[in-house]
Amino acid sequence: MSLIQLEGVSKNFGGLRALAEISMTVDEGKILGIMGANGAGKTTLFNVIAGYLPPTTGNVLLEGKSLLGLRPDQVCRRGIARTFQIVKPFQNLTVMENLLTAAMFGSVLIRNRQQAVAHCQTVLKDLGMLGLADTPAHALTLSKQKKLELARAISTGCKVVMLDEVMAGLTPPEVSEMLGIIREQHHSRKLTILIIEHVMRALMQLSDRIVVLHHGERIAMGTPQEIADNPRVHEVYFGEQK
């Protein structure tokens, strides 16, 4: 059984169809890359899966159970955490306090503050952020804020993490560092990952499979090589005929 299953998911905003009949599955432990031009529906897809937006039609299942009607915090406790494209830390809380909030409210496994502190210290250590534990979120650089988004998601003890452009705005060395962190976390925590990214180098290197959205429609799905060779993807995404 697939870990995540989408069945004919559509999302309309008034007359705009942001997602059109998206069906797909993600198997446990895999990395699914999601690509598409601005406005293609990528973030909307995450919002629907995470319970921020109800789909207009269709169903989202985790381990065969529908997530429809659950609030974002309930979806999170079922095991799906996400990062935000526009970083959304609690600005006046420290890095550690941000993680503790995620761990204590987002996880079913952590029962008390002591457990949460130990867990969050491990997450910070794994991401090379222990030295920033007491820094307020607003004082972080963009690349550190992106890492904090990832750390917060992981702190929930999730099985699935959805990463929305965690590499946007980063320098090439910072992208390489983030790639290494994602790979390491994927491996050590046995995460299933859905990743939206415009940085093609990253998406091609990380993904087992890639889905391509165009005006809300799924126009291609396959291995990175299959996507790179797909003429329709070239036409709509790179604006060229192959």
Counting contacts by CB under 6 A, is residue 38 touching ligand ATP? Answer: yes
State which of residues 8, 13, 169, 238 lies at the interface with ligand ATP (CB under 6 A).
Answer: 13
Piece of the chain touching ligand ATP by CB under 6 A; list 1-9, 40-48, 136-144, 199-207: 40-48
Sequence-ordered list of residues with C-beta below 8 angstroms from that of 72, at least 6 positions apart, any chain: 50, 51, 52
Cα 19 to Cα 34: distance, rounded to the nearest angstrom: 13
Indicate whether 143 belongs to the interface with ligand ATP (CB under 6 A): no
Record the tokens describing residue 78, joined without a space.
Answer: 């079922």
Distance between CA atoms of 158 and 192, rounded to whole angstroms? 9
In the bound complex, what is the minimum distance in angstroms from residue 83's beta carbon to Mg ion? 11
186 in contact with ligand ATP (CB under 6 A): no
Could you list the residues that contact Mg ion (CB under 5 A)?
42-43, 85
The smaller minimum CB distance to Mg ion, of residues 44 and 101, is found at 44
Q: Please state, as a whole number, how many other Cβ atoms lie within 10 Å of the Cβ of residue 58.
A: 17
| β-pair partners for 11 | 19
- Does 146 bind ligand ATP (CB under 6 A)? Our answer is no
Residues 6+ apart with CB under 8 A from 180: none
Residue 107 binding target from Mg ion, ligand ATP, none, CB below 5 to 8 Å by type: none
Q: Which does 16 bind (CB under 5 to 8 A by kind): ligand ATP, Mg ion, none?
A: ligand ATP
| Total of residues contacting ligand ATP (CB under 6 A) | 12
**C-alpha separations of 54 from 26, 58, 84, 126, 200 in Å:** 20, 10, 18, 34, 30
Of ligand ATP, Mg ion, none, which one does residue 155 interact with (CB within 5 to 8 Å by kind)? Answer: none
Residues that bind ligand ATP (CB under 6 A): 13, 16, 18, 36, 38-44, 85
